[in-house]
Structure 1
């Protein structure tokens, strides 16, 4: 599956900057803002009074900075408790923002928060804690995609975990999309087209994992369920394909956009072909030989089209597993179609429909639009002594 790259951090002495800001006479300027951002009066605190809280915030940021080293270092970050650190830093940032700490991008407040681009080494700087919070949400979703990619597609329990990872990541990106809609960024990372694509893709991927869970149920009655699940994955990957072809993505990350579009196209084509195959099995179990043949013909044509497309793709690319799957299923469909045609000609002699109705879709994957509780409430409360 596709993995969202990380945005590596750059160290900054956040404690000193916030201490100077607290002890200065600078006031917070109010302006209309996003409902997910806090714009509150400057806290009536001295740096000395909340020194322990500032130290904790700095310590958490250092932890996050030390584990998010490279755009593709998901495994190393996860092994070093990067996901837990991101959750705790995000929750603590929320508490600081609720207290009135800087949430407006005002260069006079002394903050210089740098993060590198996820698809380029370019550094981007902002002077607001909301920027750090937004990037943490991005990186949290990225780490979850890395965890989902490690899950085996042939193990039911692993697929269930992957569904949770993908849906949680999609939900986080849905929140992030709202959080940053009024902010300006130098890189494409937190743009609306980028976040929209990854949210749609992760919902589609979750649907695919749900299909794979159902495929391992082990009974013949599952084919009607598999058909509608796969048909829904087809529609969801088509939506992600459209999002991957957004003009801004094609312009600023052309290579990646092309890879994402290819992955979504192959996933969509494979899903609709599988839906036809499962529906053909449903007809066979119901002794509807003519309808089975009609479905098998559609299925065979779709797999033939897909096989021609994937044969020219990189064996080691993100579609490699689906490529092997397609090439393995095609001869099975071909052989069954041959046998079904032969049996119908010699025995059943049923009329074969020229056109079959579209298969109904059943979407179970979703993006709830909420954040995990651990990203909202810190394990260690801050400002308890002020």
Structure 2
């Protein structure tokens, strides 16, 4: 295979690579990348790493190997096998499972996300470099998937595509879909719409927290705000909740929540759908009326410049959640914004409780599960923050 062109760093910038961080920004480069695949070199031309590149994205280079070696089929097969093997070791993979097979930089495959939903895989391809390398990694992924009973392949490549000069993709690659795919999560059966659902169809990163809610919901009134298709709600219902309300702005999502509620053998009378803007509807809730409250809003800070505005939005909705939580009840607050760090997130929760006139005990600091690992060299991979509180 012909070597990729050399892309030089500015003098003194090669020290960045000694930290093994997989990202290089355009300001560290002596010139703009000429193509999607590069061999990254110091100012003297000594090759230090190999990766994908973009002339239009400020995040100019994503490093795959800290050595001068090709990104070929053997390389991808080894990385993919390691990622899938980890999920098997964790007990998360299986024919009815919903789990993340590949999490980009966390699995040393920058820009690639692969989620398994039972017999289906959903891919997200975020860079022009990965597109250029598709003939190297795609057959290997298909082969490994087929060995594990996968028959359906979907691509939902959206995040970051435009910054790489690529079109957004939402397509069935192989196999057939007759509707949503069903996965098992603990005692729950959950439906996932692979072509129309959020992200890759579902929020797999909340699995452990949904299971935890189910364990502490018996005889409780449970509010699931920003509830999407009701994953938290169904676990609460299966855990013996007396009443569950799912609040979301999307009618199709709430329709699916109601179908899954019935599919899991739960009494329709125990579930209430609340459709509309969460900020508006939560203001109308009975103060201290709910024993368990989950507030899991979307990413209000999609860019670093949005953090201050997002802080206010998180604070406001967490305040409404605290206001709705009964004395001695439990409140879960989450942020999936990468740019909202842990300290700033906790400040938003603390400020919200102060404004609500409530005190709270921290039962646990929460984050993403083990199938969403992040590299110590890449702290940006830690994105999901949560606090599990007992409200006094």
More helix by share: 1
After TM superposition, the score normalised by the length of structure 2 is: 0.30
Q: Which has the higher strand share?
A: 2
